[in-house]
């Protein structure tokens, strides 16, 4: 139990569907992230929110739409996806971008992910 809960764990959708992924963190963190994980590839950062404001959008296609209503919840809205979007989508949280003496330790707390299959 990492303190970050993602639902659903598995999702199969057609290219014309609209669905949403949900993430909730119980750690009191104020930064949340969406990552895409594909087999044998580095994790790809999609979106970052700090204090509910979007900080980073790494040129993600508009068919992915994030929403962060408060510091504990994060959504990823999906519509008209492509088969190549099939992947594991990971949510993570951190205690903001706390920069200590040695920089940001990069300590993220991840959920177990939502396995998305686009048919």
Partner 1 sequence: GQSLEQPSEVTAVEGAIVQINCTYQTSGFYGLSWYQQHDGGAPTFLSYNALDGLEETGRFSSFLSRSDSYGYLLLQELQMKDSASYFCAVSDSNYQLIWGAGTKLIIKP
Residue 69 exposed, middle or buried by CB count within 10 Å (0-12, 13-18, 19+): exposed
Q: Write the binding mask 60 to 89 for partner 1: x where contact by CB under 8 A, - elsewhere.
A: ------------------------------
Closest among 90, 87, 91 to 118, alpha carbons compared = 87
Out of 46, 78, 108, 118, which residue is the one contacting partner 1 (CB under 8 A)? 108
According to DSSP, the residues that pair with 21 across neighbouring strands are: 76
- Rounded Cα distance between 4 and 24, Å, is 6
Q: Write the binding mask 6 to 45 for partner 1: x where contact by CB under 8 A, - elsewhere.
A: -------------------------x--------xxxx-x
95 binds partner 1 (CB under 8 A): no
Out of 90, 93, 114, 118, which residue is the one contacting partner 1 (CB under 8 A)? 90
């Amino acid at each position: 139990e990492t303190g970050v809960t993602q639902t659903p764990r598995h999702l199969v959708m057609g290219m014309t569907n609209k669905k949403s992924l949900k993430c909730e963190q119980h750690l009191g963190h104020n930064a949340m992230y969406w990552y895409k994980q594909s087999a044998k590839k580095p994790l790809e950062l999609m979106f970052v929110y700090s204090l509910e404001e979007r900080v980073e959008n790494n040129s993600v296609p508009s068919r992915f739409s994030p929403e962060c209503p408060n510091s504990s919840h994060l959504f990823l809205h999906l519509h008209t996806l492509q088969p190549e979007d099939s992947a594991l989508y990971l949510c993570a949280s951190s205690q903001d971008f706390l920069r200590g003496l040695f920089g940001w330790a990069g300590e993220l707390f991840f959920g177990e992910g939502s396995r998305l299959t686009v048919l």
